[in-house]
Structure 1
Amino acid sequence: MAKLRDERFICPTGADSDAVTCLDIISAKQLSNAACNSLLFKLIMAIMRNESSETLRRRQYALLLSYFQYCGSILDSDVPPSVIRFLLLEEQEGDDDELTLQNVLKEQSELARANFAIIRKEAQAVIDLVTKDAIHGSETGKAISFYVLDSLVSIDHEKYFLNQLQSRGILRSCLTDVSNYLSKDMSFSSEFSQRFCTIDAQFSLLLRITHHYGKHGSQILLSMGALQNLSSCSLSGYQKKGSSRLNSNVVKERAGEIDKKWSLTAPVLRIITSFTSLVDSADFLEVKNKIVREIVDFAKQHQSIFNSILRENISGANAFSLERLNMVVSILSKVCYLLLI
């Protein structure tokens, strides 16, 4: 798998990149669906062995994540087939290209369904084991376990995995963990760095819920009190305390910790943005007003963050800064419009 994945990045037509077409890329060498199914089945069986240990499972989880990455790297599911078809037609005309695209799309769809079916057969035991590692494992084990849950949600077709996660309380646990983490001042502690990767993985799972299930996923998080949890967080970064005579290593460490915490504002804002989509779909005025009030309360609680982002000099700003600005403007515009009508 690793060898085949690496080969995808080797130019199919040689060193001349101008000769590469979309068709070359999407029809690159790959394992057959049957081979992929066999790999996944054996990997799941290996993970479920009684004599397993957390250390071994971490390696197996890494292989599982690599497998899902491999299966999803032929075509990006977020890119509409019409766009890919247009690119193909732009490069060269012919029915063969259209037929190849249809075959690739069909095989990808069949592989996704097969992956889901294979895991669903052992879903109860697999999710029990992964959630156990996510809650009770080491910090490294927790982080990779949450990424595995994220990957399972990404292939869910019938809200089956979503229901499994809800029944085990894993989503509510994620919300509580990220709220507690962002509310504590853990500057200069080893606990901060160890927990950061786990929190990042938990945010990844929460965002996957809102993205994969759309408004339904956002509604689930909202019903769990996500807005209240996030409103109680401290996103303004660490207060600069202590002596100004700190040595350069400590200064660098402090800057790194602040940057890490500041980077978590983006997933928080993404979740809040997903909640704004629920306002238009609310059937009752009381429900709509409640969502708007909670979003307004969030903005008030984090007014300094909103002000900082809005006043940031965007000349030469990177993609991360522009994304935050876009989300803040989107949230405020939506809320202000609804308050005026």
Structure 2
Amino acid sequence: MLRGVHRIAVLALDNVVAFDLATPLEVFDRLLLDDGTKPYDVRVCAPSAPVSARAFTLRAPYGLDELTKAETIILPGCHDGSAGVTPEVVNALRAAAGRGARLASICSGAFILAATGLLDGRRATTHWAAAARFAEEFPRVELDPGVLYVDEGQFLTSAGAAAGLDLCLHLVRGDHGSAVAARAARLSVMPLEREGGQAQFIVPEQPPAPRGSQMEPLLRWLEESAGRDLTLDEIAAQAGMSTRTLNRRFREQTGTTPLQWLHLARIRRAQHLLETTAHPVDRIGSQVGFGSPTAFRDRFKRVVGTSPQSYRRSFR
């Protein structure tokens, strides 16, 4: 448990994402303990003024020297990733980490934290839509795009904007316990724990075949026939190949196997039905081609990261 007032610096770089910037201000600055005292002193700092937030500009009341005093530093995302991370910013963040400050990023703020090298060899996450770019830019970071946040002790990262709330509540809980964190969650009209991870927001990508390739007609047929209980032999017969040849050519052209491709097509269809109909979950599993409710639930949880019923509660 923390004792005394804990100083938090929120770093606003140019092109900051306004939602990400506001999240830690709302969670930490509004919170009161049982005795009516504020546990956090939250300060927004920037290397220069004014700072663009796209729809508006802002003037931070503090400069980078605030990072030398902060016990926790929050890094909101920027619309241009790590483009605004200057050597001055890198040095200030690394110096803060060197004296033991806690660094946490929200959404694409992971790009800023990764640009310092402090995440090298560590597990981290960021918004799923930016995951491929992040992995390419920072190959030494162990990226996990399916979770809401990652706690590596001194360094923490979170996924999309709303996951910044999850991360801030997680920090409050670690600092002051579950009762205080539950109070912060109620103020934010948020559950203290959200079921599932970031994976439930990702529409599974269907590997395409090159236009005009031998697999293109087969993929159309698979999409149309996904509701049937197809076997690999039936798919191979439709393609006019042996199962061995089909598997080889399918992988060459799509990067996956026919059955894996079919399972993804079924899950995508199931997501649509869960969002748009009131059909029972077991019926949807049967509609999209799964032979048993258990097989459907297991596959759905593996791909989406949560159960069909939980997905429906979140998105219907």
- Normalising by structure 2, we get a TM-score of 0.29
Query: More strand by proportion, 1 or 2?
Result: 2
Query: More helix by proportion, 1 or 2?
Result: 1
- Normalising by structure 1, we get a TM-score of 0.27
